Structures are given as C-alpha cells and as structure tokens.
Structure 1
C-alpha cells in the first residue's frame, strides 16, 4: 500500500455526505469546524447530563448537537457555506511527539464522563449529514490548515469555526475565524491585537513565547509581548536568532543564544502542517441538508426530547415518540455499572441521576437532587492514612470535590489550620482533624489527650496532589480564604469554582451570598452554627473558644456539613449559569479574580510606623486645640463624643432646626446630622462656626482612631506588612470592598488623608506604582448614553468639567473661574448618582431652587442622559434588574414597591448601577489579566498589591519601573476589549514613587 493510500484509509475512519462532489471554485465558501474545540466548550459550558435509561453521560453530546444545529441554521441564513466539515483530533499522540517527546505531556487525561461521549459525537456529526474527518498521526489543526491552503488556491473562501489561538496563523485574505460561542469573527486586526504581529508572523512569536498548555518550550523568560517586539524589530525568527549577539539586554541575548535550537524546535511544534497527504478531496465536503429520519432517530436514541422536537419542527416533520423512562431506573443501572459507590446512600445516588434536555430543565432537576435530606450522623471522621487515601481516590473518580478548611482565625494570614473537610457527593462528606487539642493553651496534637488525628504534614502530603491536580475541580464557598490558608502550607489549589461568586453572578441584589443564607434559600436547610460547636467549651469569653478545642464528633458534623452544603449549592448554581446566560460573567469577571485577589492579599503592603506615630501625635494635638475651641464657643467643658450632650446643645440650647427625638426621648444625632446643619443657609454665623469646628474635630479624631493609631496593629509579625482582605461579593455592582483594615476609605481630598498615604511605602530598592482610571464612570456614561458632547470632549482630551460648565453656563473654557468648574464637576458626578436638587444644593452651598435650575439646564444641554435614565428605569421596572456593558446583572426585586420614597431610591440606584458596575467590571478585567501580562513582559519583581476603587497599586524594583508602567497602562486601558470597544478612549494616569501619596 502506498503512503497516500495508507493515509486515505486512516482518514476514512469518518465519513462524508453522500452525493456528487461539488468542485471548489471561485466563490465557494468552506466552513471548517474545529470539532475538538466544540466538544470541550460544550462539555464545560453546560450542566452535567445523563441519559435517563442507562445513566450514560451525554451532556457534551447534547451541547455539541445544539451548537452544530445553531451553526447550520445561522450560517444558512447569513453566509451560506457551500462546503462544510467537522474535523477531530484522532488521538493524543501525533508526529510532533517524534520531534519533541514531551509535547502536550502536561495535559491531563479527558474527564472520565467525557470519554464515552467522543464516539457518540462523531455519530452525531454523521447524523446531521455533515462531513466528519480525522487522521491518525496528525492534529485536527493540520487537516484544517491543509484544506485551507487547497481552498484558497482554488479561489474559494474559508471560515474556520474555532477560537483556538493556534489556528490564527492561517488567517489571510479569504480566510477568517469565527467564534461561534461569542458570535464573533476574527481577522487580521484581532490577530495583531492578540499577538502583536500579523498572522504570517504568529508562528515566530509562538516559537519564542512557547505554550505551557501544550508544553511547547519556547525561550525561557520571553512572553508574547517581548516576542512580538523582537519579531517586529528583526523581521522573523531566523533573522532574530542569527543576530542575537546584537541584542543589548544581556539576559535576553544570553537566552536567545542558549535556547536558539529550542526555539527552532518550538517552531516545528506550533507551525501547522498544510500538506497532510491522502486527505479526502475538499470537493467531497459539499453541504447537504440533513436527512430527517436518521437525525431524529439519533436524537431520540440520545433521549434529547426537547432538541428532537425543535429540530423536527424546523425540518417540517413529526418528531418520533420519546423513550419512556423513569429517573429511578437510572440509579439502578448506574449502580449495576459501578458508577455509584457501594457506600453511597440513596440520596447521593439519586443526586447523580437527573437528566434534562435544556440548561433550564437540567438546572431544576439538579436543584431537586441537591435538596435531598441531610443526615449529619453519616459524615465520617478521618483519622487514618488508609481512610484519607480512600477519600482522595473517590475524589479522583468523581472528577470534582468540594472542600473547606477549619481554622482558629478569620484572618487567613494569622490562622492556624485545624482541619479539612471534603464532599464527593450529596450526603457523602468527611472531616480530617489535624490540630485539635484539649484546651486553648495546649499544643499536644496527634493522639494526645485521647484525640486521634493525622499529623498536618502527613495529611497535607496526601491532599496536596489532589488539590493541585488540574484535572480535578475543587469547589469552595468563599474559596479565596481557603486558598490563602493552604498557601501558607505550600499548596496552590487549582482549578476552582466558588459557589459564593456563582450566586453573586446570578442573584446580585437579591440577598446575601453567605453559605448559611444560600443553604436556606436553595436547599431549605438550616446549617449548624459555630456557636453550637463551641457553646460548651471552656472559657468565659467567646474569643477564648476556638475550633481547635471542639470535640471531633461536633467538629465533624459542622465541618463536613460545610463541604456537603457547598457541593449541593454547586449542583444548584452551576447549571443556572448557563441556563440564565450569566456563565460569561462568572467565568470572566468572577472566577479568574479569586486567585489574583488571594495573591494580592498575601503580598500585603509595607507601612512606616514612624510616620504613623508622628501623624497620630499631630492629629491628637490638633484635636485637643479644636476641643478647646469648641469648649470656648459653648462656654463650658463639652464632651464632643457624647450624643446626648450634642443633641441637648444643638436643639435645646441653640434651638437649631431639624431636631428629632428617639423613642427614649433623647435627641437623634445621626451620622450626617452636622453635615446637614452646616449646609443650612439660614444658620447663624456663631452656630456655623461651632458646627464647622466640630466637623473638623470629628474628622481628625476619626483619622487618628481608624488609621494612624489602628494601622500598626494590623502589621503582620512575620511579613511586617499590612494584609487587607477584599470581599468580592459585598456590593451589588461588582465593586470590591476592603476590610481589616479598610484601605478604600482613606480620604484623598483632605491634606490629612493624603498624609496618611505617605506612610504606605515601598521596600528599599523598590517603588510603588499608582495607576488610576481617569474619570472612568463619566467615560462609561458617555458610552452607554451616547452623549456627543462628552464623547467629543474625551476624544479631544479636554477638561470634561470645564467643557460641561461651558455648555451649561456659556462661559469660555479659557480663563474659566474655578468656582464655575467646581459646580460643573459636582453636577457631572452628582448626575451619575441620581443626585436631587436638595443634595446638590447642600453640596454646593446654594439654594434648592438654584440647584434645580442647574439640573434642568444640564438635562437640556445633554438630552441623551435623560433618555438613558428614563430607559434604564423602564427596564428595571419591567425586568427587575439592569445590566452592565459586560452582562453583569444587578437585581432590584422591590423596585415596583408602592412606597414612593423606596421606589425613588431604587430607581436612582438602578440608574447608577450600569455605570458604576461597568467601571467595576473594567478594573476587574484588568486585574484578572494583569499577572499574566506582567509575567509575559518579563517583569519578575512587579506585584499588584492594592485595589482602591478605580486605582491599582503595585510594587516593583527600581530597574523595572518604566516597563511596568507601560505594561500596566496598556492592560488597564485595553481591559474592556475585545468584548466592548468604548465610544471614548480609556485613560489611565500612572506614576511611580517611594510612597503611595507621591505616586498618586
């Protein structure tokens, strides 16, 4: 047999539609579908489904069929293909493994439940009457490259249906890629945006940068950005390697010289082979309509009832009768096949059984299974190596595991690891005690005092490979905390899902996302509380009782339940992401940020205790002077911190307006009372002076108590840095919150607040970089409301507040009084937050009538803003939620309330949410990309430390400051792309200095 005949035989494993060949000519349009990419996207995007009759996993088959049908329908309606083929990888190994044995060696095996679906998916392609091709010894990408070359040579056009970056080297005139999931075409511009070079040079860039996923070695220390710069400068890989001695940077020169051969080998690995011999002619790939009988028969056999009916309707034929089957039979057949362990109870077995033919139906069935009754007595306490090995094995068999850590502190940087819990199925959970002891001051672990437990070292040695295995999904609730705890023990947990953030993506605004609330809301289950565990422990104070003292039976019930609840919540929430079309929000804005934020928290930031001490003393002296001044104005010694004395002074003695009594008869002294009184135009001068002095005293004492006195107490003993904690799901709009300590509320508009920032410093030989989005919310407003004047001002780089003042008041920008600009600035930002005439009047110290006139003029000059606000309110009332430009949903379930005050408040919040939320999403996208960007730029010392609203703070070695500034600005300014291209430019102001204030 000759080589072509041999390869033709191997290619013939799959099939082509029956019928006469259709020659490829000028005007032909060939669609080449990356079948393997379709499979994995279908598998990961949709809920796990099993066939009711026998429990066979079919989720990927269902998703693949739905995606292929969508492609066929939509392409027929738009740019109808004349030829179409779905192309698969024939096997894991191919000729590249002969070139480089370790090629793709790091890739984990396919998930167990996916393996039996591979042949079914090929059957599906044939059932749709579409050409189905693969060839041993070559990757699908090579076949796609070969067909692409042939079609272009014959004058035809090619659409490669894939998002795989490796295929971007094929883009050329007449060849585009199409990401079917995002419904987006990828051409030359998108390639340049991703790689920094045109398609014909992509191979050269990849040869230098390598690919950790495919284990392509590349040249160590060179990322995509650096590779692109080198290739653009020297022309191609060969020229670069030949002239490597001319490169000025010593390390770069040495690496290119040392690893030149490795770069050439990498080029052979990434360059697609476009002359695969023996392929079936492209003429045979002509599009044929599906034959209803075999297609519907296949779909019925898979028991995809809804999809079967939908396709039958589209084909104009009657659907076949569905297969009659009960859910109970699925459990029985799975048990027969050994898919459910002998130790699993009925609730666990049933939880694995549900099936549905749509994401929504699948979500409901999985939710029902997750709500099976809880029985804490069935949770296991693991005290031997053999038992723990058995649970680890179960986790590997399942392919996913929910886990939780128990510790002695809410601060992961200070916490001692007490134990770990695992759950592999609903009702099947265990607790592994590690550091329990009889009393708070005892450090006798192991079997002392009658407590039998594994040592931390031994247990973590068994758990580490599981927790770090890329093929096993780890599921947690607020998993960032657990990542930081385990990082202290050298464990980098990956990959992860977080049920808290799933809930946040799905239901922001509908309630808390804490585990206890989610368990009650979704599972109808009341969780055991920490107080129930420690209530009987010795120690008068609650702080004296730690989980380490908890008896193992109670500890097991509490800890294992946490893991069990987390797994069940995952079963409920994960399918909803796809069913409710928010999977992209979770996958791009939530999940990638977990490890990034965890890393920032571990890095922390250095503070200068001497500066804080000096400021504290200064603030104390100034406060004392102000206190004496207040006493003098009052006429006697006065306790400014006493609400009772304050109320009596303001409303009994001074008879100021606005006083209200509480139920106890005392005057109400709410937080903003003094600010409201200070804004009162009719306030007597002596009263105004008194209140302003009180406000100044209050500000200084707050700065002292909250920051200058408190911050030294947060310095970690080991790292000598402050480690704030970020909450990813604390606001409804996506903005992060900071606590312990809160570094987001340090005032920057006052001299004293800015002085506090001077205490945040870089390590010797390093600098802090502050990178701040410039007026990002106004830029988002200009985009979403389509305001021509704002767009032009941002495009032209004008002072946006001066432009607004000029538009509103007819004052020339040049020589504009600062007071006029200040008023326009207050209106610009106030409008975003739905400010009222009363609020604007207070802020500017003007009458309510004048403020109302300003707002009226503003809407007249910028009518698009009023149109945006009215439309947003309408949508919020109709749908109960609004969306950011990236699809994040913020819910307002009570917005249709009959209470006018509450309704107005919620309407203002709904108007602001898409703007503030979009700005928050932009910085989230920047943060998620930043670590990779810094690594690819070869910046080894640059670390992201803080996020404060629209600002990111980094620490970097002096030598890497210029490159870091450039990389940070590029990533932040391009963060919205490629999903959204704002109608105005995004601007980032970045500066480096030795302290935070100087860098701002």
Structure 2
C-alpha cells in the first residue's frame, strides 16, 4: 500500500536489530544507576538514532523513515528447514530486557517502529523497499547486512551506518563476485554457517560466484551439473541439489508481505521534545538528555543522582559498607487481600520496571510444595505480602485445615500476576530465584527477566563466604532477618508456613522481599568495579531458567532394579562383616568409628593412631587408606564395607523415595552457587557422586532409564581439565599431543620414564595418569603415594621428574599463587572470580589455600565451558524431540526420541565443542565423547 508515496520521495529503512547488537557489543556493560537495569544497548541505540537524525539533514534528507525489528526467533523459514538458525546462541540475558526498551526509544524519537510475527526484519525491509521502488521513490537501507545486498539496484541502495559508506552494485560485486541480482544464487551455494543455511558442502563464496558467472543462474547450474569436469564438485552439486534449492528459499527475502500500513504513514516527523526527554531521563542517559534539550532549546529535566555505596576508607572493596538507606521498618508492610489493592501494586511494578519477589510455600521441595503466598517489594519500606493458601492454625502437619478468610482466590491472583511477571520489560529480583521460578512455573507462569542476589554475591565473592540471605543481610545491610523458626517452630511441633497467622506471615515474607531488593541495589552496582559483569551476565544469570527446566523435566528410575541391588548390597555387606570380624579376632559394630579405632590401635596395635578430644581414635578414610597402603587387610575391608554401605543408603535405598508421585520421575536440584569454582552441586537427590569407575556405580546408573520410545544420550568432555591446563600453562608438548589425538597419559609416561608408547606397561601409564590428574589438584608426594600405594619417596621422585619434563606447569603454579597472594583471588579464562582466603597465612591452612588457588582457574574454566554449552543448548535442540536432563561434572545427559538420536548427538556435540568460542579460543581442541542407550550406564 503506497497511497501518497511516489516520485521525489526518499525512504530510509533502518535495520533496528543490527543497531541493537552493534550497540550492545560496542559498549561496555552499563546499568541504570537507580536500580541496576541493564541499559548499555539502549544507550548505544539511542545515540546511533540521534546521530542518524542529526546527520540526515541536507539535500539528501529522507522524506520517510522506519526502524525495522525482528519480532521473534522463529519465522516461516523454520517451517522450510527446522535447523535454520539452530546454531544461533540465545541473546545475552542482560540484553533481553533491553529489546522492548529499544522499541520504546524508537517511538520516543517519533520514528515508525515496525515488527511482524513470523517474519524477519530483512523480509519487512525487502517488502517496503520493493513497494517504494515500484511507486517510483528512492530507498536507502541503513545496514551493512550482507543478506540485504540482494535488494540493491533499481532505486534501492544501502548505507553502512558505521563507516558512513554507500553500498551499491559495485560494492556488492566486490563482496560476492556477482551483481545483486545473483547474490541469492551465490548464497544458496555457499550456505551460511551463522544462520545454519546448509548450501553445497565444500563450496565457498568464491567458487560459487565462479560457477554462477559461468552457468548464468542457479537452476541452469544444477541442470548442467553433470557437465562439470571436477569430479568432487560435480558430485556435490548432483547429490545436494535439493539441499541447495532449500538453501535458496532460506536466503531469498520475501518482497511480497502484506503490510497493514501505508508508506505514506512513514513520513518523517519531528520528535516530541517532552516525550523524548521523558524517556531519556527515565533511562538516566544524562549526556544525551542534555544534548537533546539543547537541540530543542529547553532545560533538561532534573535527574536524581543515585549514590553508589562505596567502601569505607581502608576497607576491603569486596566487603563494601552498608547501604545508606533508612533502617528496615516492618510496620510499613501491608497485606494484599483484594483485587483492587493488587491491581495498584501491579501498576506500580509495571511503572518502575523492577520488583523483588519471594514465594512462601508448604515445603522445600519446589516440585511438590503448595504455594502459600507471594511477597513483593518495589523500594525501601514499600513491601507487601499476598496471602493465598493460609489455613486454620489447628490444621494437621500437612495444612489440610479450613482456608482462612481474607485471601484472594489463588487462580484469580495468579492470573493478575502473570502478565507482569512474564513482562520482559519488568525485572524480577529474587534470592535463589530458581526456587520461586519453579514454584510459579508449576502454575503456568514463566518469569523473565531475572536477577538473583545470591548469584550477584557469588559472582563477586565465591569462596569468601556463603551466599544465603541471612548472611548477606548481616554482612552488607547490618540487618538481622526474622528467623523462620520463630514462625513455624522446630522439631516435632514444627508446622508448615500455611499454618502461620497471616499477620505474622506478612511481616516475615515482606521483609524477605525488601531485604532482597536492598541486597540487589547494593550488589548490582559492584559488578563493574569488580570486573565480573561478563561472568555474571554470561555464566550465572542465564543458568537459572536452564537448570529450572532440567530439574522440572526430571529423569525416570527403575525402582525394582534398585531394590534388587539393595538386597545384593546387604548380602555383600554381610559377607564383608564376617571377613572383618575374622580379621579382628571377634565381632564388633563395623559402623562404629569408636569400636573400629579400639580394634585397630589397641587390640591390633597398629601404628598411626591419633586420639581426638573425646579420646576416640580417628578412623576417617585417609587414616584407613594409609593403613591399607601399608598392607593391612582389616582397614582395606572396612573401606570396601563403607563404600557398599554408602551406595546402599545414599542411592539404592534412597532414590525410590525421591520419585515424585505426580511425574513418576526423580527431580534433583542444582545449586548454582554451591562450589566456589563454578561446579554445580546436585541435591535431593545428589546425582553428582555416583561412582562411574566401579561395577556397583555402573549398576546404579542402570536404574536411570529412558521413557518408552526414548533413549538416553550422554555427551562427556574428554580430559577437559588437562586440556585447559595445557592451554593456561602453555605446555607445547601437551598441546601438540591433544592436537594429534595422542593418548595423553601414555605420552606423559613416555616423556617422564623414557619408555616407548607402543607396548607400554599399563602400570606405568596408570602412574602417569595419576600424576597428570593429581598435579591439577596440587597433589603432594604423600597424596600420590597413597593413591598409587607406593613408597612416599618414590612418589615424590615421580612428581619431581614430572616438573622437570614439564617446567611450564611449575611456572604456572608459581605465577598463580603469586597473583592470588597479591589480589586475594584468581580468575578463570572467562572472568569468573574465585576468592582465595588463607593464601597469605602460614601452616597447614596455607597449603590447602595454595592448592585451591592452583586448581581453581582450571576447574573453574571447565565449569564455565560446560555452563556456556548448557546455556546455548535449549535453543540449539529446540527443533528436536529432546530435552536436557542432567549435568554431572563434565557430562550432559539428554532424553530423546530414538529416531532423533544421531541428529541430537551432532547438534549437541557441536554446541559443546564450540562452547569456548568466541570468548576464549583454546590452543587445544575440545573433544566430546557420546553414547546412547536405554539407561544411563549404556549411554555412558
């Protein structure tokens, strides 16, 4: 629809999505000072638009203009080819809340803002350009996107907004080797790895251009492919003809979209100064606000200065002083009991664009706990509690009493909350918000975007202290939260939260929300000064929703298999007990450390017994391992008994008790901030510590099974920590071995002991393997002696030889420890900061701190790499009947329909092996081993 648009008119089409990403990557992370909302891309976008408006004056000024945006990731092209853009990573978490703000900015500048569901911005641009050209007008596309170059010519030109350089037919030919009219044919042949357009394997832009120039067009080339003399190229075109045609459909822009507006409606209009300045002021873009005010001859609006709390003089910057806000006053909190009050709160939340939220439930298992209430906070003293499931206090332990009056209907309240909690322009803050996310997800609400005070603390101070709300409130706010036991009691008389009186619950819950808001306000601005913004935004925050989805998916187990194993373990334990009693010279309680100590060090008189304050002998694993290494049978058998006993109590007896009665699956919970190095911790049940190298451990994994018609697929990084060590320590011999695919342990043994790789004694390789992995953890001669059960002097000689052969490792260790002593922390390749308390102390504690400092950058980088893979995985496999279920150290476990197993392995392996790029390019390749089966043991 052109209406009054025609000859003499000039239409500018601005590629808004390209503007956003260019702005995001060109500027350092920037947050709004008042509340920490990410605004870096918004600031860059606004500056680019303002520059465009100011530079657009003169004889070539446009008469019409529009900014075009992508609406969503999925378009009609995904129906043509489901893998289209499958490799594209999801937008960074800190960029997502900025997308709607850039649309708002466009409207504030009074420029037409256009996006259409199911179509990419390029298609809208193509359709508008063709309409304007056909109406006799001129078109300038403000973009450098190569995919738009097919439109150039016949009154349509492009302008690179950064270089301010026009792109015409000559520039297109320089880039593609053909004119604009044949760009699509060249792209169809060459494909596009970024958009996952397959093209013709082995044919690049240059070859594609030569072929199209020679044969005229793509269809002529495919029809005459048999004439091509080069055999490989000829066969490629014949074998992949249909794939090439599909590729052409993917790269060819749709010029025929039916649009619900006219070109005339895109006429250039001056911005409304009041509306534009209001938006810029709200975004707290001080410099641009001043420039715009000067341009319109008005005073810039007053912008409140928000002080960022600074550390006290001489204080550790990692432990900043308490915020300057007034003390928390619980008397200010309100209870939301009706729709009218809730509507007022929701309007306030929408206006402010940020809210701290906390859910109260009947238990700690978010997959089964019932929602009791929701607390909200929008600022200091501005907190409320929305009770939804409180029952008569006389109810039984499970809260089955009569519902207390004065509460909104649960479904109605959730229906009102849902639009705001799912609004991408409203930031939701929580303390361990993954719990709240899952509770609300069970009610059909998927909160976005998210910020987490626990993770904000963890990103800045991993290893320095714990990150629970009570500890953070005391540390940063100087505030003591109401203890939960004051409300629900403890022991046999404990009740659940649904039985707490609403007035008391309101005070407790609203305080949690306000404390969370204050912690966020205090911790968010510290990210940039501590140089952990990237680590938080790219490694911590995106994991919330990824892990929540995995945990909610759960995994099936075969309870009967576990029951049979429990019986077998009981029999094996009985046999070991009989053997132990015989070695001890009489019966005793094998599970009693006190009795075992008396047997070992008094009755048997073994050396090495140490008594604690209670007078009992220490019989921990290290003590027993030392005694076993000296050849004593009794402690060796006790270790075997303990291992079986732990497997029985922890897994074969306990796992069936964790089966969710509603889903029939086990739902573990991952702690993002559990380990200081970034490793995830698994609880309720713990699936991280199932032994994989023992027969018993493998049999336990057999109990984890795929659903009918599905398979479990395991993908596991191969020797990732050694690969990272080879990179960070810059060890040429190890790097080359990894590049060549050589057995790294055999190579190490050959280097150390001067023996050939061929025909190597397995025992020598085992010793080299123990040293390779031990060195990462700063193993001592004593520790290696215990692991290999060899004399300490021999073990120390092995380590000394190792450092002689690989002096780069010693240099890395010395360098890392020196840095940790100076800074008080170490960093991974990806910017994760890990505190090293005790590194400057003396005595045994210093040795442990030193070993931790050496290992942290390596183990932390491995954790970062698999996190990066996990964050990218959901989008990469979205087109497949598959889902990610488990993460165990360096392994990911998926459940997938049997027919889709090969494709899942290919896609997931590609994501995992590319997880280090482009942020960090390792000097060694990442290798991922894959397996699949009906159960986890078969898959691994």
In structure 1, what is the equivalent of residue 869 of structure 2? Answer: 926
Residue 995 in structure 1 maps to residue 935 in structure 2: yes
Q: Quick one: structure 1 residues 709 and 795, their matched pair in 2 at CA, closer, same or farther if it must change by over 3 Å?
A: same
What is the alpha-carbon distance in structure 2 between the residues aligned to residue 241 and residue 405 of structure 1? 48
2:612 corresponds to which of 658, 662, 667: 662
The two structures have a TM-score, normalised by structure 1, of 0.71
Q: Is the contact made by 1:34 and 1:87 (CA closer than 8 Å) also made in structure 2?
A: no
In structure 2, what is the equivalent of residue 552 of structure 1? Answer: 502
Give the superposition deviation at 1:450: 5.4
Q: Is the contact made by 1:370 and 1:572 (CA closer than 8 Å) also made in structure 2?
A: no
Q: Quick one: structure 1 residues 493 and 305, their matched pair in 2 at CA, closer, same or farther if it must change by over 3 Å?
A: closer
In structure 1, what is the equivalent of residue 703 of structure 2? Answer: 759
Q: Quick one: structure 1 residues 860 and 193, their matched pair in 2 at CA, closer, same or farther if it must change by over 3 Å?
A: farther
In structure 2, what is the equivalent of residue 503 of structure 1? Answer: 457
Q: Please show how residues 667-686 of structure 1 align to structure 2 within 5 Å.
A: 667-679=617-629, 681=630
Q: Deviations over 1:425-471 (max 9, x none)?
A: 22211110011011363699999675311121111111111111222
List alignment gaps of at least 5 residues for structure 1.
15-31, 72-84, 122-133, 163-169, 176-187, 203-229, 243-259, 271-275, 281-297, 309-324, 335-351
Q: Is the contact made by 1:367 and 1:572 (CA closer than 8 Å) also made in structure 2?
A: no
In structure 2, what is the equivalent of residue 47 of structure 1? Answer: 31
What is the alpha-carbon distance in structure 2 between the residues aligned to residue 723 and residue 922 of structure 1? 24
What is the alpha-carbon distance in structure 2 between the residues aligned to residue 704 and residue 967 of structure 1? 37
List alignment gaps of at least 5 residues for structure 2.
52-59, 77-95, 112-124, 133-138, 164-170, 177-188, 206-235, 259-263, 269-279, 291-298
Q: Quick one: structure 1 residues 587 and 893, their matched pair in 2 at CA, closer, same or farther if it must change by over 3 Å?
A: same
In structure 2, what is the equivalent of residue 844 of structure 1? Answer: 788
Residue 939 in structure 1 maps to residue 880 in structure 2: yes
Q: Please show how residues 119-268 of structure 1 align to structure 2 within 5 Å.
A: 142-145=141-144, 192-193=193-194, 195-196=196-197, 239-240=245-246, 266=254
Q: Quick one: structure 1 residues 160 and 447, their matched pair in 2 at CA, closer, same or farther if it must change by over 3 Å?
A: farther
Give the superposition deviation at 1:63: 5.4
Q: Is the contact made by 1:769 and 1:953 (CA closer than 8 Å) also made in structure 2?
A: yes
In structure 2, what is the equivalent of residue 474 of structure 1? Answer: 428
In structure 2, what is the equivalent of residue 179 of structure 1? Answer: none
Residue 971 in structure 1 maps to residue 911 in structure 2: yes
Give the superposition deviation at 1:692: 1.3
Q: Quick one: structure 1 residues 58 and 697, their matched pair in 2 at CA, closer, same or farther if it must change by over 3 Å?
A: closer
Residue 745 in structure 1 maps to residue 677 in structure 2: no
Q: Is the contact made by 1:371 and 1:523 (CA closer than 8 Å) also made in structure 2?
A: no
Q: Deviations over 1:295-326 (max 9, x none)?
A: xxx99xx9979999xxxxxxxxxxxxxxxx9x
Q: Please show how residues 731-810 of structure 1 align to structure 2 within 5 Å.
A: 731-810=675-754
What is the alpha-carbon distance in structure 1 between the residues aligned to residue 62 and residue 696 of structure 2? 65
In structure 1, what is the equivalent of residue 517 of structure 2? Answer: 567
Q: Quick one: structure 1 residues 997 and 36, their matched pair in 2 at CA, closer, same or farther if it must change by over 3 Å?
A: closer
Give SS of 2:142's match: helix
Residue 958 in structure 1 maps to residue 901 in structure 2: no
Q: Deviations over 1:374-404 (max 9, x none)?
A: 1111111011111111111111111121111
Q: Quick one: structure 1 residues 966 and 172, their matched pair in 2 at CA, closer, same or farther if it must change by over 3 Å?
A: farther
1:647 corresponds to which of 597, 609, 612: 597
Q: Is the contact made by 2:23 and 2:45 (CA closer than 8 Å) also made in structure 1?
A: no
Q: Is the contact made by 1:360 and 1:579 (CA closer than 8 Å) also made in structure 2?
A: no
Q: Is the contact made by 2:820 and 2:836 (CA closer than 8 Å) also made in structure 1?
A: yes
Q: Quick one: structure 1 residues 952 and 550, their matched pair in 2 at CA, closer, same or farther if it must change by over 3 Å?
A: same
What is the alpha-carbon distance in structure 2 between the residues aligned to residue 96 and residue 485 of structure 1? 29
Q: Quick one: structure 1 residues 159 and 887, their matched pair in 2 at CA, closer, same or farther if it must change by over 3 Å?
A: farther
Q: Is the contact made by 1:505 and 1:585 (CA closer than 8 Å) also made in structure 2?
A: yes
Q: Is the contact made by 1:520 and 1:526 (CA closer than 8 Å) also made in structure 2?
A: yes
Number of equivalent positions: 804
Give SS of 1:45's match: coil
Give SS of 2:541's match: helix
Q: Quick one: structure 1 residues 952 and 172, their matched pair in 2 at CA, closer, same or farther if it must change by over 3 Å?
A: farther
What is the alpha-carbon distance in structure 2 between the residues aligned to residue 990 and residue 267 of structure 1? 44
Q: Is the contact made by 2:142 and 2:161 (CA closer than 8 Å) also made in structure 1?
A: no
Give the superposition deviation at 1:371: 3.6
Q: Deviations over 1:491-534 (max 9, x none)?
A: 11112111211211122112111111112222221111111222
What is the alpha-carbon distance in structure 2 between the residues aligned to residue 521 and residue 114 of structure 1? 39
Give the superposition deviation at 1:65: 11
In structure 2, what is the equivalent of residue 7 of structure 1? Answer: 10
Q: Quick one: structure 1 residues 474 and 61, their matched pair in 2 at CA, closer, same or farther if it must change by over 3 Å?
A: closer
Q: Is the contact made by 1:112 and 1:399 (CA closer than 8 Å) also made in structure 2?
A: no
In structure 2, what is the equivalent of residue 867 of structure 1? Answer: 811
Q: Quick one: structure 1 residues 450 and 967, their matched pair in 2 at CA, closer, same or farther if it must change by over 3 Å?
A: closer
In structure 2, what is the equivalent of residue 906 of structure 1? Answer: 849
The two structures have a TM-score, normalised by structure 2, of 0.75
Q: Quick one: structure 1 residues 515 and 359, their matched pair in 2 at CA, closer, same or farther if it must change by over 3 Å?
A: closer
What is the alpha-carbon distance in structure 2 between the residues aligned to residue 624 and residue 38 of structure 1? 68
**More displaced, 521-530 or 380-389?**
521-530
What is the alpha-carbon distance in structure 1 between the residues aligned to residue 770 and residue 762 of structure 2? 12
Give SS of 1:502's match: helix
Q: Is the contact made by 2:459 and 2:535 (CA closer than 8 Å) also made in structure 1?
A: yes
What is the alpha-carbon distance in structure 2 between the residues aligned to residue 879 and residue 87 of structure 1? 55
Give SS of 2:346's match: helix
In structure 2, what is the equivalent of residue 526 of structure 1? Answer: 480
Give SS of 1:813's match: coil
Q: Quick one: structure 1 residues 88 and 44, their matched pair in 2 at CA, closer, same or farther if it must change by over 3 Å?
A: farther
Give SS of 2:758's match: coil
Residue 541 in structure 1 maps to residue 484 in structure 2: no
Q: Is the contact made by 1:923 and 1:950 (CA closer than 8 Å) also made in structure 2?
A: yes
Q: Deviations over 1:186-245 (max 9, x none)?
A: xx999635545699999xxxxxxxxxxxxxxxxxxxxxxxxxxx9998679993399xxx
Give the superposition deviation at 1:824: 0.3
1:700 corresponds to which of 638, 641, 644: 644
What is the alpha-carbon distance in structure 2 between the residues aligned to residue 157 and residue 806 of structure 1? 61
In structure 2, what is the equivalent of residue 723 of structure 1? Answer: 667
Give SS of 1:659's match: coil
Q: Quick one: structure 1 residues 690 and 360, their matched pair in 2 at CA, closer, same or farther if it must change by over 3 Å?
A: closer
What is the alpha-carbon distance in structure 2 between the residues aligned to residue 118 and residue 588 of structure 1? 30
What is the alpha-carbon distance in structure 1 between the residues aligned to residue 251 and residue 452 of structure 2? 39
Q: Quick one: structure 1 residues 672 and 480, their matched pair in 2 at CA, closer, same or farther if it must change by over 3 Å?
A: same
Q: Is the contact made by 1:61 and 1:120 (CA closer than 8 Å) also made in structure 2?
A: no
In structure 2, what is the equivalent of residue 322 of structure 1? Answer: none
Q: Is the contact made by 1:627 and 1:697 (CA closer than 8 Å) also made in structure 2?
A: yes
Q: Quick one: structure 1 residues 731 and 751, their matched pair in 2 at CA, closer, same or farther if it must change by over 3 Å?
A: same
Give the superposition deviation at 1:836: 0.4
RMSD: 5.1
What is the alpha-carbon distance in structure 2 between the residues aligned to residue 889 and residue 63 of structure 1? 28
Residue 405 in structure 1 maps to residue 359 in structure 2: yes
Q: Quick one: structure 1 residues 821 and 546, their matched pair in 2 at CA, closer, same or farther if it must change by over 3 Å?
A: same
Give the superposition deviation at 1:653: 1.4
Give SS of 2:877's match: helix
Give the superposition deviation at 1:64: 4.4
Give the superposition deviation at 1:573: 2.0
In structure 2, what is the equivalent of residue 916 of structure 1? Answer: 859
Q: Quick one: structure 1 residues 91 and 498, their matched pair in 2 at CA, closer, same or farther if it must change by over 3 Å?
A: farther
Give the superposition deviation at 1:369: 5.7
Q: Deviations over 1:783-812 (max 9, x none)?
A: 111111111111111111011101100111
**More displaced, 573-582 or 973-982?**
573-582
Give the superposition deviation at 1:707: 0.8
